[in-house]
Amino acid sequence: MPQMGVSVAEGTIIEWRKQRGDWVQADETICEISTDKIDTEVPSPASGRLVEVLVQVGVTVDVGTTLARIATDARPGEPHSAEDDRAPAPAEPPQPQPQPQAPARGPAARRYSPVVQRIADEHGVDLAEVEGTGRDGRVQKKDVLAYVQARGGGQAREPDEPAIHIESPYRPGAGTSLSGPYLPPEGRPLSRMRQTIGEHMKRSQETAATCTTWIEVDVSRVELARKQLGITALPLIARCTIGALVEFPLLNAWLEDETHTVHEQVNLGIAVSLGEDGLIVPVVRGAQDLSPEGLSRRIRDLARRARARQLSPDDVRGATFTITNPGQFGSMMATPVIAQPQVAILDVEAIIKRPVVVTDQFGEDAIAIRPMVILGLSWDHRALDGALAARFLASVKKRVEGYEA
Amino acid sequence: MNLYRQGKVPGSFYDGFGQEAVSVGATWAMAGADRLCVLHRDLGAHLVRGVQPWRVLSQYMGREAGITNGRDGNVHFGDWRTGCVGMVSMLPDMMLVAAGMAMAFKLRGEQRCALTWFGDGSTSRGDFHEAMNWAGVQHLPVIFVLENNQFAYSTPTEQQFAVNPVERAAAYGFPGVSVDGNDVEAMFEVTRIARERAISGGGPTLIEAVTMRMHGHGAHDDMKYVPKALFEEWRKKDPIDRQSARLKELGVDVEALVKEVRREVDEAAKKALAGPMPDPATATDRLFHPRDGEEILLQDGAAPWSGFRAAR
Amino acid sequence: MTELTYLRAISDGLRTEMRDDERVLLMGEDIGVYGGAFKVTDGFIEEFGADRVMDTPLAESGIVGTAVGAAVVGLRPVCEMQFADFVSCGFDQIVNVAGKMLYRQGLPVNVTIRLPSGGGFSGGPFHSQNPEAWFMHAPGLKVVAPSTAEDAKGLIIASIRDPNPVIYMEHKNLYRRVKGEVPEGSYETPFKARVAREGTDLVVIAYGAMVHTALDATADLDGASIMVLDLRSLVPLDEDAILRAVHQCSKVVVVDEANQTCAAGAQVSALIAERGFEDLDGPIVRVASPDVPIPFSPPLEAAVLPSVERVREACRQLLEY
């Protein structure tokens, strides 16, 4: 069907001037058509025998539709040929332009798109764990979403509790001698929360005889277990800590002036960072009864509510022992401040892979690469001695290193 | 000009010194309901239609109180409240706008006309032809005032066209009339007649107002290309001097008038200088008119001859 | 509702508005007695008379300039440039007179300028252009581009009623090829985007004829769920709709029939890069005509204008990324 005008889209056959089997000359009128703009005769595009009429009189078809077939290799005078059933050669599919290939990346050089990183942050996903189905194994948005779905059983995961450690308020002396006049900028008063935290820290420093002991722990098994359970390391270490507190109840105690109270129940305080505003320590009550999954859930809920400023006064009262876990930034050790009136606080810093010496059953030493963490315990020398603190830490270490889910 | 030299007028400065009769005389013949496209040498038109001098000076100095609120400079303004459309720099685009206004009047059967000024140089551009042709073929009530001030910047008319446009009006189907552009009364009369023709269905008129630009194209132009003799000849024909002479003969105290005007202008300058510059935060405002905004159309301007004072 | 072609829908819109508002008049070459080069105004002069269906001289600058004059004294002119390509002859009046009048002088200019645009039928370099980008770039002008019959009617009515200069891009290759259900009576289409098809894996952003190309290219593409966003309005650009689509799909293909450099799609891409960065799961991919005049001979033209295959392949590559 020819296009009789720029905007014409279809046409109708009015009459066929030639029948099937007829000979037709090039430019001879073969049929007549009608369109929106004009009625016209259609000259044959070639000479030959009309072997097939595809569109009948009165039928309307789109511009470009084949109306009939002419056998151009026929000779005039030859008998009518049978219907030509040779299928037309299929049109070559257009060759798509090859897209420039992204340079091949090994797994070590993985890069993540903005949306993939955002989703990973929101759900606490370690992207190294996610399998990529994109080009060259690239992690696509749907891959990380699928991972989250599978891991969390379909529930939206809260971001990890990022508890920042209670920093020592002690600062080295500020004014060293300066050459030349220095014009300091204008200072601002501290926020209410800052002042409150500061007062607490000062009071703790002034009240307790604070000492800190450290121990190095291999967390390979905990790492394994946490992946299986789909939680972070903190609840597992907390579980081990609670075990050690049950074994050494003197660490799960209060010292108020001269009164020393040893608790049976472990109300575990977990320090939660509120960013630049400060920090707060909500409490998991009766933590001794919770499994690591249970601890994980409770900690996440408290952290979420803490950040949303939705904690009730009961949520932050009555802790018997506190854990602080600021390790996400890579720091190794710290000297945490004890939360009054507790007698100890455990600091969990970054888990860092390090070469360590391991001894096999034959007494042979070898170097292995293990994920290691340094646990720091600040304790009040008024309530206990260094030996007890060290034994407590050793207990935590044993439980962590021997952890079995 | 003083303010410009004092740095109080940003951008360039243009004036119609020596051509005042062309705008004043023509505008004087207009009715309040007529519409004008005013060009850059036609300050007199704005004043006749009712724009106050202090606002004109504010406009030059880019103040908030200027007619364009600082959006456009010097004489690129038209106060729609006085029925004037502000010009663009591409010349003679406004000829088509004037023809369009006249077209609307004709379609609605209204007894009004449109008028625009344009210079000898601008007749070389295509829009001159399109407007002349359109006005002629549609027989529009429009008055085209060609301000032939002998120079387009530095280009004299001999280099601008082979045949004076006023002679070419006939080729478009309507009369071309030449008049002494420095005679305000002659200017008034020829415009009055053109207006009569327009509103009675007689179609367009091309009025060539022959005058001379006595200052440079802009304040930055020292006019070295103008032959001194030509300049002197035209100085003797100064429009204001001539009209002053006529008025004196009629017994009018011209000195007192001039003093009064000077005083008014000084006060206007003071008031304008006291006005604030526009707020930078408004720089991106007023790009589009809101759908539910009030309809703004050109309003009637003052028409002293007919005694019409536009309501304010 | 009746089924109308895209072209008949535009006619219907013009006719409806002209009946409702006597200030509306049409101005263009051959639109009166001849009914318009494409027959958009067929029958109009009989109904509305020669005063309101004005056969103008061959003068694009004249058409627009006089329309501005008519608008500031209360008429509502709708100008037709016979082919979008000829708009360059009236460029100055559109950009410098109409576009800047309100900002400078406080005087709104209610003119509508219809541009039959686009190629695909061997129109050659001067009958196939898509010049919308020139006018998107000039401040003070609105630009709209319907792709369906329903929107063609609603947008022309809305454009006439908008008190600002509106450039109305009517794609002539859609005139008779696109049909759709069109509501009867008077209605307006908002100057906002429309989701032509919902989807989640990738979004194709297009306007005008390319909306249909995009729909065809992605109807059945390896089972993927592909959204098609029909911009409909280029100035103002529906930034919220664009960013919402990017947030949902994260993979974007932007299609222009116009020449690539600084086409409408370039502005869309810049917007996404600036404000949708966090939602992207791959580079913003553009499919457009290369920067050449649109050629006349069919194989050349087909190689230049974005085809269904090209859009399809671009989507496939991005889905795999």
Give the DSSP H/E element, type plus range, for residue B167. Answer: helix B165-172
pLDDT score at C222: 93
Stretch A326-344: mean pLDDT: 89
pLDDT score at A99: 45
Q: Which residue on chain C is closest to A132 by alpha carbon?
A: C321
d(CA A400, CA A237) in angstroms, rounded, equals 7
pLDDT score at A89: 43
d(CA A247, CA A251) in angstroms, rounded, equals 9
Give the pLDDT band of residue A42 (cuts 50, 70, 90): confident
> pLDDT tens digit string along B62-112?
999 999 999 998 889 999 999 999 999 999 999 999 999 999 999 999 999
pLDDT at A152 over 90: no
Cβ-nearest to A114 among C38, C278, C320 = C278
Known catalytic residue at B225 = yes
SS (H, E, C) A141-191: HHHHHHHHHHHHCCCCCCCCCCCCCCCCCCCCCCCCCCCCCCCCCCCCCCC
pLDDT at A141 over 90: yes
pLDDT score at A109: 64
d(CA A346, CA A375) in angstroms, rounded, equals 7
Please identify which residue in the block is written with the tokens 């207990």: A395
**Cβ(A211)–Cβ(A388) below 8 Å:** no
| Residues of A with active-site annotation | 381, 385
Q: Is there a contact between C65 and B96 if contact means CB atoms under 8 Å apart?
A: yes
Cβ-nearest to A36 among C123, C173, C176 = C176
> pLDDT tens digit string along A262-306?
999 999 999 988 877 788 899 999 999 898 888 988 998 898 888
Buried-exposed string B11-40: b where 16+ CB fall within 10 A, e elsewhere: eebbbbbbbbbbbbbbbbbbbbbbbbbbbb
| Beta-carbon pairs below 8 A across chains B and C | 144
Stretch A152-181: mean pLDDT: 50
d(CA A161, CA A151) in angstroms, rounded, equals 18
3-state secondary structure of B168: helix
Stretch A155-164: mean pLDDT: 49
Interface test with A, best of C281, C309, C311 (most A CBs within 10 A): C281
Across chain A, mean pLDDT equals 82
**Cβ(A42)–Cβ(A33) below 8 Å:** yes
pLDDT at A390 over 90: yes
Environment class of B66 (CB within 10 Å of its CB; exposed 0-12, middle 13-18, buried 19+): buried
Higher-scoring residue by pLDDT: A37, C310 = C310
Cβ-nearest to C321 among A7, A93, A135 = A135
> pLDDT tens digit string along B181-198?
999 999 999 999 999 999
pLDDT score at A308: 82
> pLDDT tens digit string along A71-115?
888 776 666 554 444 444 444 444 444 444 444 444 456 789 999
pLDDT score at A247: 93
pLDDT score at B13: 82
Q: How many CB atoms lie within 10 A of CB A263?
A: 17
d(CA A67, CA A70) in angstroms, rounded, equals 10
pLDDT score at A179: 56
| Chain A environment of C173 (Cβ under 8 Å) | 7
pLDDT score at A93: 43
Across chain C, mean pLDDT equals 97
Stretch A318-326: mean pLDDT: 92
| Chain C environment of A12 (Cβ under 8 Å) | none
The DSSP code for C36 is: -
Q: Is there a contact between A96 and C313 if contact means CB atoms under 8 Å apart?
A: yes
Share of residues in chain B with pLDDT > 90 (%): 84
| Chain C environment of B96 (Cβ under 8 Å) | 61-62, 64-66, 68-69, 93
Environment class of B156 (CB within 10 Å of its CB; exposed 0-12, middle 13-18, buried 19+): middle
Ranges of residues in chain B with a pLDDT under 70 are 307-312
pLDDT score at A189: 82
Structure tokens at C109: 């200019």
Report all structural domains of chain C as residue ranges with CATH numbers, in order of start: 2-182 (3.40.50.970), 194-320 (3.40.50.920)
Q: Is there a contact between C317 and A97 if contact means CB atoms under 8 Å apart?
A: no
Buried-exposed string C72-81: b where 16+ CB fall within 10 A, e elsewhere: bbebbbbbbb
Q: Is there a contact between B99 and C163 if contact means CB atoms under 8 Å apart?
A: no
d(CA C31, CA C36) in angstroms, rounded, equals 4
3-state secondary structure of C12: helix
Neighbour subunits, C (≥3 Cβ pairs < 8 A): A, B
Give the pLDDT band of residue A5 (cuts 50, 70, 90): low
pLDDT score at A180: 61
Stretch A202-230: mean pLDDT: 91
Chain A segment 107-136 residues within 8 A of C by beta carbon are 113-116, 118, 134-135
Q: Which residue on chain B is closest to C59 by alpha carbon?
A: B130
Stretch C38-56: mean pLDDT: 96
Which of C65, C102, A95 shows the shortest CA–CA distance to B289?
C102
> C101 touching B, CB under 8 A?
yes
> A358 touching C, CB under 8 A?
no
Interface test with A, best of C122, C126, C176 (most A CBs within 10 A): C176
Across chain B, mean pLDDT equals 93
pLDDT score at A175: 43
Known catalytic residue at C171 = no
Radius of gyration of chain B (CA): 19
> pLDDT tens digit string along C88-129?
999 999 999 999 999 999 999 999 999 999 999 999 999 999
> pLDDT tens digit string along A60-78?
898 888 899 988 887 766 6
